[in-house]
Amino acid sequence: MGNLKPLVIGELVVPKPVIQGGMGVGISLSSLAGAVAKAGGMGIISTAQIGFKEPDFADHSLEANLRAIGKEFKKAREIAPEGVIGFNIMVATKNYAMYVKEAIKAGADIIISGAGLPVSLPAYLAEAAAEMKSAGLGETVKTKIAPIVSSVKSAMVILKMWDRKFGRVPDLVVIEGPLAGGHLGFSRESLTELRVDTPDVEHTYHQDAYDEEIRGIIRLVGEYAEKYQTKIPVVTAGGIYSHEDVMHQIDLGADGVQVATRFVTTVECDAPEEFKQAYIRSSKEDIVITKSPVGMPGRAIHNAFLSGVGQTPFKLEHCYQCLEKCDKKTIPYCITKALVNSAEGHTEDGLVFCGSNAFRAVRIETVDEVMKSLLGE
């Protein structure tokens, strides 16, 4: 593993400094998260419509999702009894606080939260701890909390607010860059400025400009760590596919990396075979920036579904109550239906989120193979 050290988050130790990024709907559940944790990395389960396989999901999606959080965590823990396993929970989720508390009560080692700024995450952690204590479920909660940021500005908002309001700092900070898959913490204009919305991102991307942003965030986090006399590890994400990519991030000052796309085309990934093959079949020209009903840009594989978006007026037939802010009258499609279709293998009728390097996948690997490749072993 060369000079790669374990990722240390307080008393939590991840032997290999690789976090598997959360991918929903239904892409990173117990099988993938458990396998990555077993291999020495950090396995992350996505809570985005996590209960889509539950029989009552259509009519009682909230109850189905909360129930599935405990089920998926238990299954992942059985795969990796000693591993580090957590959840990715989108801030944009309707009833966000309930998801956070359920994940904590399930025993999550960590909660990573983005798609919005998790300004109230420490409050929900404290509430969950109080509820567990009054129910006789233990005196201490060990769940770590980590915001996802994409700029110095968003990092400043979180660090300043958590400091002033809660007298604490994050346990870990994840910096998600513009090459990531799924929802992106960037405006469309920023993506254009960084030249990551072209058909040839690997040659047009203004990497030096974003590398400077990463250094700025790391410096800022360091200032708050010093104030609290603690260590706040920083992990970078977005477009990390090879050992060279990993080492570039470490050279920038990162303590580890978060990788998602590379794990999709593994035996252990929870995605259906059709979803994995969509990655393997894709070319770099197929990977596009699209606007999600969440209100954020997203990166996905262009397919029949995306070709049809906006061609005919969309009429919502059933609302799954997934987003805090969703204008049912103006959305171009239902994000839950589009992602569940893909998670069920109907990829041409659904949204296939991916990172900028999805086209580099040529075969199905094992999680162990991916980990060794990333770490240069």
Helices of type H across 162-206: 188-193, 201-204
Can you list the domains of the chain with their CATH numbers? 7-271+361-375 (3.20.20.70), 275-349 (no CATH)
Which is it for strands 182-183 and 234-237: parallel, antiparallel or unpaired? unpaired
Model confidence, pTM: 0.96
User: pLDDT value at position 2?
Assistant: 55
How far does CA 358 lie from the centroid of its chain? 16
Q: At what angle do helices 61-79 and 30-38 cross, to 10 degrees?
A: 30
Give yes or no for a contact between 252 and 218, defined as CB atoms under 8 angstroms apart: yes
Whether the CA torsion 175, 368, 231, 246 is positive or negative: it is: negative
Q: Where are the beta strands (DSSP E) in the chain?
A: 7-9, 12-14, 18-20, 42-46, 84-88, 110-113, 144-149, 173-176, 182-183, 234-237, 256-259, 287-291, 297-301
What are the pLDDT tens digits along the chain (377 aa)? Answer: 456 999 999 999 999 999 999 999 999 999 999 999 999 999 999 999 999 999 999 999 999 999 999 999 999 999 999 999 999 999 999 999 999 999 999 999 999 999 899 999 999 999 999 999 888 887 788 999 999 999 999 999 999 999 999 999 999 999 999 999 999 999 999 999 999 999 899 999 999 999 999 999 999 999 999 999 999 999 999 999 999 999 999 999 999 999 999 999 999 999 999 999 999 999 999 999 998 887 889 999 999 999 998 787 788 888 888 888 888 888 889 999 999 999 999 999 999 999 999 999 999 999 999 999 999 99
Q: Are strands 7-9 and 12-14 parallel, antiparallel or unpaired?
A: antiparallel
**How many Cα atoms are found within 13 Å in the side-chain-facing hemisphere of 222?**
9
The torsion angle over the Cα atoms of residues 141, 142, 148 and 152, rounded to 10 degrees, is 100
Q: State residue 7 phi and psi, 5-degree precision.
A: -90, 115
Burial of 247 (0-12, 13-18, 19+ CB in 10 A): middle
pLDDT score of 329: 81
CA distance 101 to 121: 10
